[in-house]
């Protein structure tokens, strides 16, 4: 064997035992930092499995209440509700109707848990429009940003009236956070907070979600969701949201955008959330189902990596399960 000076510096010393590793761990994932997205579908009596998201379902109103109670029991930070209406139209009328599925589900969830768990709701039109876009269209078929804003304001008021604690505007219309903030404040609802999807990318990783909400999207969302090529633009969007009154800003998806999470975390002074989206969930579930990946460690590593990148809060379909694993 060749002669050499034995290393004096040995980083492995701190990895020798589980107790040492635990002591020096830089990042943790705690149940309170996880938010569970839940889908509720109008007109069904029992939950329906979502085939592209094994383990996830479209809830009935009844099963949603149970899922919300279960999330509270698990100690997660909150739930994010998405509605799947029975009928859709060009302007997403179901979104602003107090009897619309998302609004009744918000009321159900709040009746179930009160303030013991933070109840959040998606504030976007794509689940409610027949063309599947996040906004309304003008005569030429283009997204009408400002007419959409007026509907978002109404939608925020309907969700607030239903009792929501935090709204999640996800449509990426310019000025949406400011318009929603002033609508809420004008209605005496300065108590309702805003989790803004600041940096939301036009991503292939939303694929399974489109099945989950029965979306009938024609075309793509590239005129409003961001180009995956751009990180600075994501920071800019997040800063604009904070300036307009966002209480929390979100980066979405998470795994392919860990650099954006870090840059946003280093730039803003509000909590940063990240959305571990449907496609990210489906990839791990599919690989695990094939025996190609060890499921639980992969889930925990995924969540840890998103936290390490700088996310304070993670929206993840594993929230309730992971809370049990931690
Ligand atoms: C829009 C919305 C989407 C998701 C959350 N909110 C879909 C989209 O923008 O196309 C995707 C979430 C996921 O993929 O898990 N209302």
Report in angstroms the alpha-carbon separations of 155 from 64, 74, 261: 21, 30, 28
Q: What is the overall mean pLDDT for the chain?
A: 97
- Distance from residue 278's CA to the centre of ligand 1 (Å): 8
HSE of 270 in the Cβ direction (CA atoms, 13 Å)?
A: 20
Residue 218 pLDDT level (bands cut at 50, 70, 90): confident
DSSP-derived letter for residue 94 is G
- Distance from residue 2's CA to the centre of ligand 1 (Å): 58
Predicted pLDDT of residue 130:
94
- Distance from residue 206's CA to the centre of ligand 1 (Å): 6
Residue nearest to atom 11 of ligand 1 (CA): 206
Of ligand 1's listed atoms, the one at least distance from the Cα of 200 is: 9
pLDDT for residue 294 is more than 90: yes
Per-residue pLDDT of 146-157, as tens digits, reads 999 999 999 999
Are 252 and 223 spatial neighbours (Cβ–Cβ below 8 Å)?
Answer: no
Q: What distance lies between CA 129 and its chain's CA centroid?
A: 20
Predicted pLDDT of residue 159:
98
Strand partners, 82: 39
Residue nearest to atom 5 of ligand 1 (CA): 170
Predicted pLDDT of residue 172:
96
pLDDT for residue 266 is more than 90: yes
Residue nearest to atom 8 of ligand 1 (CA): 206
Of ligand 1's listed atoms, the one at least distance from the Cα of 277 is: 15
Per-residue pLDDT of 130-145, as tens digits, reads 999 999 999 999 999 9
Catalytic sites, residue numbers: 200, 252
Residue found by looking up tokens 């399974």 in the block? 208
Are 198 and 251 spatial neighbours (Cβ–Cβ below 8 Å)?
Answer: yes
pLDDT for residue 120 is more than 80: yes
Of ligand 1's listed atoms, the one at least distance from the Cα of 217 is: 10
pLDDT for residue 215 is more than 90: no
SS3 state of residue 25: coil
The domains of the chain, with CATH numbers, are: 27-325 (3.20.20.70)
* Mean pLDDT of the 257-267 span: 98
Residues lining ligand 1, judged by CB closer than 6 Å? 122, 124, 126, 134, 170, 206, 209, 221, 277-278
Predicted pLDDT of residue 217:
85
Predicted pLDDT of residue 309:
98
Of ligand 1's listed atoms, the one at least distance from the Cα of 205 is: 14
Per-residue pLDDT of 296-321, as tens digits, reads 999 999 999 999 999 999 999 999 99
- Distance from residue 294's CA to the centre of ligand 1 (Å): 27
Are 309 and 274 spatial neighbours (Cβ–Cβ below 8 Å)?
Answer: yes
Report in angstroms the alpha-carbon separations of 276 from 37, 114, 256: 10, 26, 10
Predicted pLDDT of residue 1:
72
Q: Is 49 exposed, middle or buried (0-12, 13-18, 19+ CB in 10 A)?
A: exposed
Are 202 and 175 spatial neighbours (Cβ–Cβ below 8 Å)?
Answer: no
Residue found by looking up tokens 């650099």 in the block? 259
SS3 state of residue 312: coil
Residue 37 pLDDT level (bands cut at 50, 70, 90): very high
* Mean pLDDT of the 217-222 span: 87
* Mean pLDDT of the 176-195 span: 98
Per-residue pLDDT of 53-111, as tens digits, reads 999 999 999 999 999 999 999 999 999 999 999 999 999 999 999 999 999 999 999 99
Q: What is the 3-state secondary structure (H, E, C) of 129-191?
A: ECCCCCCCECCCCCECHHHHHHHHHHHHHHHHHHCCCEEEECCCCCCHHHHHHHHHHHCCCCC
């Amino acid at each position: 064997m060749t002669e050499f000076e034995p290393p004096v510096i040995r980083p492995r010393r701190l990895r020798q035992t589980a107790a040492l590793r635990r002591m020096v761990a830089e990042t943790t994932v705690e149940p309170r930092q996880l938010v569970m997205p839940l889908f509720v579908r109008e007109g069904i009596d029992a939950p329906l499995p979502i085939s592209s998201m094994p383990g996830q379902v479209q809830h009935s109103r009844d099963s949603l209440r149970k899922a919300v109670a279960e999330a509270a029991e698990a100690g997660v930070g909150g739930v994010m509700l998405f509605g799947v209406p029975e009928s859709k139209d060009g302007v997403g009328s179901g979104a602003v109707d107090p009897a619309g599925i998302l609004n009744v589900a918000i009321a159900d969830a709040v009746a179930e848990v009160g303030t013991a768990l933070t109840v959040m709701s998606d504030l976007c039109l794509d689940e409610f429009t027949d063309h599947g876009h996040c906004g309304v269209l003008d005569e030429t078929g283009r997204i009408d940003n400002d007419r959409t804003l007026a509907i978002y304001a109404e939608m925020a008021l309907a969700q607030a009236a239903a009792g929501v604690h935090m709204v999640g505007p996800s449509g990426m219309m310019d000025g949406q956070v400011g318009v929603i903030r002033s609508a809420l404040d004008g209605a005496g609802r300065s108590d309702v907070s805003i989790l803004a999807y600041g940096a939301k990318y036009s991503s292939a990783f939303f694929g399974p979600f489109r099945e989950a909400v029965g979306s009938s999207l024609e075309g793509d969302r590239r005129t409003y969701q961001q180009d995956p090529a751009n990180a600075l633009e994501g920071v800019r969007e997040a800063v604009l949201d904070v300036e307009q009154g966002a209480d929390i800003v979100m980066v979405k998806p998470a795994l392919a955008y860990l650099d954006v999470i870090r840059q946003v975390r280093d730039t803003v002074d509000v909590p940063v959330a990240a959305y571990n989206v449907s496609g990210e969930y489906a990839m791990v579930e599919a690989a695990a189902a094939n025996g190609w990946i060890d499921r639980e460690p992969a889930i925990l590593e995924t969540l840890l990596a998103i936290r390490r990148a700088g996310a304070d809060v993670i929206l993840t379909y594993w929230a309730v399960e992971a809370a049990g694993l931690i």
